[in-house]
A and B are shown apart, each in its own frame.
Chain A
């Protein structure tokens, strides 16, 4: 095997990993801050793609879709938090899990009824079509663009959570909501914002994925599984973990594809099983969280 193919495969893996990071971010943020396992994650990803499709068909512009759809779906997420999830906080963790599980089904059916069960075309904008010569081989321009967007989002998230007062409050709220309440912080408003942020990121992932994969009501099913794998490997609730695990899984899948492509999906779950055996809290997880 020549070096060029190997490097190209490595790069493809990192690019795929970046998409997985994007897919897992929303899930891990909501779990890390609110302790809710959001089973509607895949469905919200799909809703994001359809929202993007809808905005793009109204405005005729991919860029508006990229901006408006995540905000709109994030706002919908805040509505869900306020109306459906909030009454369940005082009950066992199973209740929000069951609720989001059911919500996922409702969303998929709602989209099937509204947009039909068939796939719908969604193309990358003209300016992002075509391939780029990386020196080691050709790569689609659009996937490079997605890599860039993911990098920007990660930097923004890091700054927001680590360097701002908002981030400080959010992190403290995740550690000990009771003390935060005693200190006079409105924790419920905080959770509303975090849930909205998580859902908005998921929807952004959906809009970004739409021009690469096709848009269909079932597109979120596998995404939910992938997001879980990445989150478990990285450590439930860990942002850094999601990034490292996403890239790791992407490279693992890509390298497997080189030798035994039919094993590419299994290797993801194999990696997860291995991590769970060796380090149950995940690569960057705190022991006791999510175990």
Chain B
């Protein structure tokens, strides 16, 4: 029981990170039908920006008392801004020209952008993993049989706050409504006066911001950043988005948590080397029975 709960908590923590990244995939897919392969690397970039700020502040001796909270906030905000701008920049430079191109052209471009980003991050930070400062104190708390670290609570809380904020933003704000309209029918949206280009750019901005949050919490949780992190995490997060029903925001969150739990429990029960196999086997099985993912609408066949 004790170990079950510990694995459960770990799976939720891991899932929170995957869910944040998965949201970025799903938002972009919803609006452009593009698998943004570079999204994982935007996450890595966010991680490194946060890491850079924290290392800088620590060297300056600013991470004490109130400075610690300020420093953590600064790192988080910087990661959000940097990732958001990077993602929007990629859209502007690489994807916008390809809106009317054959479907696979943007996909290959995204893969190319991913390679470029990975290489640039490697040039910037080297090819070895870089330690992420332990800024959040991590005493273990006991709740009955369940033992969790403060760090875990912070990671999950931050992720959930972000997701709730996103939900209200998409449902309530004018821009959120515009995003949904463009996702549903781009031409009709533009007819009712929605600026499609701007809406798409904003979507990338938001997706990037989410990757920035993920980069920060991922750095805190894993204790390091590495130039190829985005590949593995991105693949699992994308799988999560598809599992939940790509394009569906609640689906991405659900999928993220499921994949996190699946990874944690498969490592526990059948061994770490099988965790990827378990994740993808479950994905294939789910899609066989629910071809549009768990929460995806069953697409009517084209009429």
**A and B are partners in one complex rather than unrelated chains:** no
Chain A residues proximal to chain B, CB less than 8 Å? none
Chain B residues proximal to chain A, CB less than 8 Å? none
